Every structure is written in C-alpha cells, then in structure tokens.
C-alpha cells in the first residue's frame, strides 16, 4: 500500500507542517494541497465525501471545511493515488463528490485529522477525524498532532463512538464532561483532554510502527454509560470503559 501524507490548507504554517512530515516506511513524499488553488476543488470535495461516508451520511458543510478547518488550521492525513484506491471506494467517493471521474494520478484522501490551535501555545482542539482504511485513523491523528507540535489536545466525541478506542491509544484521557447540553448529541457527548505523546512517539504512531502508548496506571472497568467528569479513561471495549484514578466522592 503506497500512501501519500498530505497537508490541506492555505496559510504559511500549512507548508511548514508539510515540511515537518517525517519519512514513513509505506509513504511517498508528503503533498501540500492549497485549498484555494484552482486545481483543488476535486480534492476538497473528495475529502468532504470521505467524511460523509465515514460518518454514515452526516457531511460537514463545504463552508465549514473551508472557514473552520482549512483556512484557520489545516487538515492532515493520508491519501492514495486514485489508481491505487479500491475501485468500488473510488467510484463511491467520486459519486458523493459529484465528480464523473478522477485521473489515475489524482490524490484521494482516505483519512484525515484536523485540530484548531488555541491561544494557549501547544494546546489544540480536535475538530475532525475520519478513516476509510482500518489503522489510518490513529496514524492521521498522530501525524496531525506531530506536525502541529501539539502538547495538549482537547477532544469531543460520544461515549458510544468507536473513535474512543482510537483516542485512548494516545494515552490517558482526562474526562472533562459527559453529557454536553449545548452539543447536537447532548446525552452522549464527552469532552476529554489528552497530554500529547512526545514527538518521537507521535512519529512512531504516524508511521504505524507503534499502535498504542502504554501506561502503568492501576485500572478498573465500569460501563461506558457510568463515565463521569474526573475519570481518567485508558481504554474501552464494546460495553465497558477502563478507567484509572477515578476520583472519590459524588460525581462532579
Ligand atoms: C473512528 C475512526 C476514525 C477510526 O479509524 P480506524 O482507522 O478504524 O482506527 P484505528 O487506526 O484506531 O484502527 C482501528 C482498528 O484497525 C486495526 N488495524 C490497524 N491496521 C490495520 C490493517 N492494516 N488492517 C486491518 N486492521 C488494521 C487496529 O488494530 C484497530 O483494531 P482494534 O480496535 O480492534 O484493535 C473511523 O472508524 C471513522 O472514521 N469513524 C467515523 C467518523 C468518526 O466517528 N470520527 C471520530 C469523531 S470523534
């Protein structure tokens, strides 16, 4: 599998991020895709299509991908040349993107992570993550945190989302809130903060040579639904959450 890491944005930082992409065993040189270049609409719409496919139809509006992701930050991930993409997947993404076809050489994004910087240096807020090939979700998030030189990441997800397993591979997640009234999924939304792994660890995760960060915390299992603010989440399975350092006393 030959992958092409990409940085999709516009600001000068996005080119710097492309230059920071480490050499990876199964990857060609990283590509910088300028969201405002006349040649970029196909990539833009294929990325929206990949996101919609991964989320089961719930697509990011195009203006959100431009105004809230690729202009203020950049989307970072892995693509393949169209000729290397599974033909059924290629056809489906083209259909969803409203494209009759793409050239064999065109880049087709298959996994993507986007985080927005906060005024606190190194602290980013994860905004978007998807993967169409198992294993690329972890790698895209690791690559994004690596090139952005993140030290802390706040994330928003749902307690019943399989993505929690991916996030837990980066280290303990400190649960900030479970049930977020102002979210469109108020009952199940969870906000966590993660101390980003060291750059060398992120680079190994991005490369796929490491698949999780180990920890040595004593743990207990609880049903996922019992998660609460203050819990330190280290893993999940289909039913349970594995937490460490559960705070004593009543829920916050
Ligand atoms: C959540 C999501 C990004 C995870 O992506 P992913 O690529 O499947 O995630 P990971 O990189 O963690 O890999 C997942 C599994 O693939 C396995 N895997 C790794 N490399 C693999 C390979 N080459 N072949 C097959 N499986 C592989 C991993 O071991 C892991 O399996 P496990 O959980 O049973 O141990 C993806 O499912 C998705 O796009 N979901 C919809 C959108 C969404 O919910 N986004 C998150 C919002 S917070």
pTM (2 d.p.): 0.96
At 161, phi and psi to the nearest 5? -90, 130
Ligand 1, pocket-test mutation among 163, 167, 237, most atoms within 8 A of CB: 163
Taking only the tens place, the pLDDT of each residue in 19-72 is 999 999 999 999 999 999 999 999 999 999 999 999 986 779 999 999 999 999
pLDDT of res. 39: 97
Specify whether the CB–CB gap between 228 and 175 falls below 8 A: yes
pLDDT of res. 249: 64
Instruction: Report domain extents, the chain.
Output: 1-151, 152-195+215-252
Spacing, Cα 85 to ligand 1 middle (Å): 18
As a whole number of angstroms, the distance between CA 25 and CA 32 comes to: 19
Q: Which pair of structure tokens corresponds to residue 237?
A: 């399975």
By alpha-carbon position, which residue is closest to atom 48 of ligand 1?
157
As a whole number of angstroms, the distance between CA 76 and CA 129 comes to: 10
Taking only the tens place, the pLDDT of each residue in 109-127 is 999 999 999 999 999 999 9
User: Based on C-alpha coordinates, what's the Rg of the chain?
Assistant: 18
Spacing, Cα 249 to ligand 1 middle (Å): 35
**C-beta 215 within 6 A of ligand 1:** no
Taking only the tens place, the pLDDT of each residue in 164-198 is 999 999 999 999 999 999 998 999 999 999 999 99
As a whole number of angstroms, the distance between CA 231 and CA 245 comes to: 7
Q: Which pair of structure tokens corresponds to residue 190?
A: 């969870």
DSSP secondary structure letter of residue 3: B
């Amino acid at each position: 599998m030959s992958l092409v890491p990409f940085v999709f944005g516009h600001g000068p930082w996005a080119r710097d991020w492309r230059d920071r992409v480490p050499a990876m065993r199964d990857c060609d040189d990283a590509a910088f895709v300028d969201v405002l270049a006349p040649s970029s609409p196909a990539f833009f719409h294929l990325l929206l299509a990949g996101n919609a496919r991964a989320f089961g139809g719930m697509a990011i509006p195009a203006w959100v991908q431009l105004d809230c992701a690729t202009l203020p930050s950049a989307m970072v991930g892995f693509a393949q040349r169209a000729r290397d993409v599974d033909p059924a997947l290629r056809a489906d993404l083209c259909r969803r993107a409203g494209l009759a076809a793409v050239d064999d050489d065109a880049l087709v994004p298959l996994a993507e992570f986007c985080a927005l910087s906060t005024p606190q240096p190194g602290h980013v807020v994860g905004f978007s993550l998807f993967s169409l090939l198992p294993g690329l979700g972890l790698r895209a998030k690791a690559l994004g945190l690596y090139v952005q030189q993140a030290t802390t990441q706040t994330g928003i997800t749902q307690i019943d989302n399989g993505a929690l397993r991916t996030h837990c591979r980066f280290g303990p997640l400190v649960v900030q809130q479970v049930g977020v009234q102002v979210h469109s999924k108020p009952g199940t939304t969870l906000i966590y903060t993660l101390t980003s792994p060291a750059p060398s660890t992120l680079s190994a995760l991005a490369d796929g040579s490491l698949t999780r960060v180990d920890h040595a915390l004593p743990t207990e299992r609880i049903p996922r639904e019992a998660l609460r603010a203050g819990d330190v989440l280290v893993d999940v399975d289909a039913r349970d959450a594995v937490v460490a350092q559960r705070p004593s006393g009543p829920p916050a």
